[in-house]
Structure 1
């Protein structure tokens, strides 16, 4: 009982942190024009999935943990919602990796190739694939037949004690989900980031000027790539333990799995939704500045006095406006 209470308490903390942190991420992109490029479009998609984890998945997970009896398909829908959001996070991370690769590979024609419209289409495609992959158990690849065969159904009304492994087939989780839609994207992202770091270091070692002025472009790309690769690393560390436990369940059904290990693995997966905003705040200056502005201006109500802009006709005014636009669009502070 103590373990369950501790688990529920940690889940509540993670849920609140995830919702607040990722709302701040979306809010930061909304108020900071320099964060509205294609990479941060995918980051917003990732943040929306993490908000849903905190606001929807974790409360449902807590409900499941107390052994609630529900209809089989109600429980299955709850489990599938977790799978949809997990898959959307993976595909968002993959889209981010591909976007950074193109930014380094074709810097001259990047903005012509990766347009906002194509980025939006990529986000929609990621979510569409996520729904297809995550909702596959709803269309038959589940444990209903197995429960019928072993007599585990409580009544003929398909009532079950709602637990993830009760309704989700481990064949689906291991062969289709993990080996098909989790592990390959993670390995592909690993290869992409290795190639990105190789190309950036190769350009930095040339010590020659580029069309963008100097090596500044590749230096800031290296900083941002490191931050995003760290987000990927945290995702892998958070989700691989649970998938490893699923593999043990499938390939060694008689092996003992301590309950506290299962709780830890679940908390790691949910906790991943809360850590990304912390990474952005500490490693990406634009997010840190936007978070500070939100905290001071909108939460503490420390409004700055209205700025007096120079008159339109003055040369000083034109220079001031140009500097503002340059500072707003500059990416040196990633």
Structure 2
């Protein structure tokens, strides 16, 4: 099961990195697509790149069930929270931008500037970082992790204990953890380690269930999603109210199509992430309910697939963006080997137009 999960995660990571790099390259080569909405889509692609390049490899490490020091495990589990939370905030910013662009056409260009939007995006990154690393500030399961680590080490064989010592000695947090963890000082360089600093690393072993459900899900996920739903419903109400006006419909047809595409992105986000949050809710609110590891892995895979769905949906729904992506893929990516050979002088090779 672990091997299949790791293989699927690896393939998904490569697909996520490829598609989101294509989005970034498209906006780099096609200047006519550089407007505020697409800049926000670019920021979303950068966050998805972080999922493919770092969050998924971290998830693969967690699925292996390695024995790691607490703060090393906590760092591996905190990073996916940062990228996910940034995606949520960015989808909210995109919803507000779309609403203003359609409902306030006269004052939109005066108030919504690229510089202001980028400052707002930077604030979203900062807020997401604070939310994601808050467990490292104390809202975690350190005591339970230490207790489980002591129990695991107590029943382990001598060879396993030697492996734990070597692992703890080589961890980058080794010197730091000797000052953070409670207990007598340790000498990592001498190969002496307090076994309570090590434990079975997983997503739920370091995070408090209350943190995952009440703070991450109810507060930082559901509230922004409800706000986005209200914004898009109000936007479609305005559009329906002006539906009788043919002039309004023709003038705003492109923006309305964009609004529908962005609303679809929000819907796909809910489909991809809600199953995982429902599992966390069941683990907290119904401790006696049985959960299956295969379902947990399937929910994690589904959540990561959101980073692949975002660029695909936008490229397929936005025809101009899709054509630009197709052009970059054909003429910039697939022709790279030919361009490399053309870099060597040869009378038989003619420059491309």
Matched, 1:164 2:198: no
In the alignment, which residue of structure 2 is the partner of 1:117?
A: 115
Number of equivalenced pairs: 299
**2:152–2:199 contact (8 Å) kept in structure 1:** yes
What aligned pairs does 1:1-334 form with structure 2 within 5 A after superposition?
A: 3-148=1-146, 151-152=150-151, 154=153, 155-156=194-195, 158-207=197-246, 209=247, 215-301=249-335, 306=353
**1:203–1:218 contact (8 Å) kept in structure 2:** no
How far apart, in 1, do the equivalents of 2:94 and 2:220 lie? Answer: 17
- The DSSP-based 3-state class of the residue aligned with 1:257 is coil
1:157, CA displacement in angstroms?
5.3
CA displacement, residues 21-59 of structure 1 (integer Å, 9 cap, x when unaligned): 011111111122232111112111111111011111111
C-alpha root-mean-square deviation of aligned residues, in Å?
A: 1.8
**2:26–2:324 contact (8 Å) kept in structure 1:** yes
**2:146–2:198 contact (8 Å) kept in structure 1:** no
- The DSSP-based 3-state class of the residue aligned with 1:160 is strand
Structure 1 segments (4+ residues) deviating >6 Å: none
CA change 1:79–1:152 in 2 (3 A) is farther
TM-score by length of 1: 0.85
- The DSSP-based 3-state class of the residue aligned with 1:174 is helix
1:10, CA displacement in angstroms?
1.2
**1:41–1:119 contact (8 Å) kept in structure 2:** no
CA change 1:41–1:152 in 2 (3 A) is farther
**2:146–2:199 contact (8 Å) kept in structure 1:** no
- The DSSP-based 3-state class of the residue aligned with 1:70 is strand
Which runs of 5 or more structure 2 residues have no equivalent in the other structure? 154-193, 340-350
CA change 1:280–1:236 in 2 (3 A) is same
Higher gyration radius (CA): 2
- Between stretches 123-132 and 59-68, larger displacement belongs to 59-68
- The DSSP-based 3-state class of the residue aligned with 1:24 is helix
1:153, CA displacement in angstroms?
6.8
CA displacement, residues 261-298 of structure 1 (integer Å, 9 cap, x when unaligned): 10110000111111111112211112211111112211
How far apart, in 2, do the equivalents of 1:10 and 1:149 lie? Answer: 33
1:215, CA displacement in angstroms?
3.0
**1:39–1:99 contact (8 Å) kept in structure 2:** yes
CA displacement, residues 216-261 of structure 1 (integer Å, 9 cap, x when unaligned): 2321111111111111111000000100110111111121001111
**2:70–2:145 contact (8 Å) kept in structure 1:** no
How far apart, in 1, do the equivalents of 2:333 and 2:115 lie? Answer: 33
How far apart, in 2, do the equivalents of 1:145 and 1:106 lie? Answer: 53
